[in-house]
Amino acid sequence: MRLLLIRHGQTPANVNGVLDAEVPGPGLTELGQQQAAALPAALADRGIERLFVSSMLRTHHTAAPLSAALDIDPVVLPGLREIEAGDLQGARDQTSVQRYLAACYAWASGEREARMPGAETGEDFFDRYDEAVRQIEDTGVAVAAAFSHGAAIRIWAATTAQNVPNDLGADRHLENTGVVELEGSSADGWRLVDWEGEPMGGDDLIDRTAQDPTGERF
């Protein structure tokens, strides 16, 4: 199966550098809506058969234009949600952001028992994300697109893909509506096909002033 993991469009939290993993969370900025609107044309040749979103509003809003273009209703999979922020929810100071990213990086390095302050462990995160991906596989489609979140996509994809180092997610950025493409299955393993870190609609949809803590390199 081909799995396209698509980061949601820009949110106010991305602009202001706020750690926001609360469900359902905010919608999109005006730029985020433009990024979402560019997806049908950008992904027209991918052969997408099914769409999936997390339990967070920003993925629903980002998927809406592609859903309309393909006439496919997205399926909600809560396991695709962002890595929980716990005690760091709503923070934007550098110390809090670094604590959040340090926990994510520890998981990628194999320390899955480490806990995000006041929130889930790496084992919790991988268990629920793995289960969401298995539910996508169970549909039997050849190509699926799942709308998810910056840190979640980066950590899960880089750690799960067998053909890249686990710390790749720390070294690669993922802008809003960037896409990470994998091929394989949970049973046989996954390999990274492409890491498209820029917005799918092109450079005009990049906000170079946004502070975006979960999209930048760790």
Catalytic residues: 8, 82
Q: Beta 143-148 vs 2-7: how paired, if at all?
A: parallel
Q: Are 107 and 13 in contact (CB under 8 A)?
A: no
Paired strand residues for 161: 190
Q: Are 78 and 52 in contact (CB under 8 A)?
A: no
Burial of 113 (0-12, 13-18, 19+ CB in 10 A): exposed
Q: Are 179 and 152 in contact (CB under 8 A)?
A: no
Q: Are 215 and 176 in contact (CB under 8 A)?
A: yes
DSSP-derived secondary structure letter, 121: B
- Cα separations in angstroms, 73 against 34, 56, 148: 20, 16, 16
